[in-house]
Amino acid sequence: MRTIVIGTRESQLAVMQSKWIINELEKQDVPFNFELKYISTKGDRNQNVALSKVGGTGIFIQDIEEALFEKEIDFAVHSMKDLPAQIPEAFKIGAIPVREDHRDAFIGRGKTLDELSQDAVIGTSSARRAAQLKAAYPHLQTKWIRGPVDARIKQLEEGKYDGIILAVAGLKRLGLTDVITQYLPAEKFTPAAGQGALAIECRSDDEEILQLLRKMNDSDVETAVWTERTFVNLLDQEDKAPIGAYAFVKNGEIILYTSVSSVDGEHILTYNSRGTSIQQVATEAANHLIGEGAEEIIKAAKLEIDKE
């Protein structure tokens, strides 16, 4: 019987996600054994600097892909939003399972965002979240925060921040929803492309693993996520600017929410598109926002992020 080795980051959330995938596969009584291989990534090794300074998109992926290429592991479980826009030809996303909650959550110390005082400090590691927060609540301040979910919550409890913003999906997977003060609606706080979804990555030529992983695939989630990623790729292939994208499929139709923000939140563009083709829905949204000045906002935002 073949033993399948799954590569995972060492964080509690990453391990939990990988174990969930193993459990779901074992439910189908597949003829394999499974074991985890823990891999330290560049993003995890450099938690004292902002993500943009560590190396940008892919910093949580590169070390794992190297292990995959060297056949030290058979597949890897990623948070979809950590994947860069372009994936090397040697690899393939074998499955995108059912999606967890796509929204962002605000965690405060007894107060909602509306109740916070002037100059309250909100922790986030995301330029998108910071920009959307400044747009909705210009009197609030943002400060970058890094580290695992539990470490960020501890920093909040220690009084280093008045609140923090995290993905609902991670909190749900860790059983920490009781700390959530409020759920932030996608219409106002459009999440990152792929937020709440998992990506299972394997070698393109491993047919046995590809067939195994397809058992986990959710076709509607796959369509929605590729719509989001196609939209972002049309605007910013580096995926560094404050861009939000969330899609879902309803009655065979794709509905896509999008946003593009300046770093200071003073300029924010939004557009919703719908249709039955991934390319058509993503392109319509991108073209509309470009017509509204998105390219200039994105260029300025990336320059600002690189200076920080």
Check 44, 82, 162, 206 and give the catalytic one: 82
β-bridge pairing 182-184 and 104-108: antiparallel
Backbone angles phi, psi at 231, to 5 degrees: -60, -50
Alpha carbon separation from 132 to 114, 154, 161, 176, 186 (Å, rounded) = 14, 24, 18, 24, 11
Known catalytic residue: 114?
Answer: no
Termini Cα distance of the chain: 51
C-alpha span between 262 and 128 (Å, rounded): 9
What residues have CB less than 8 Å from 61, skipping those under 6 apart? 41, 78, 82, 83, 84
Q: Give SS3 for 110.
A: coil
Catalytic residue set: 82
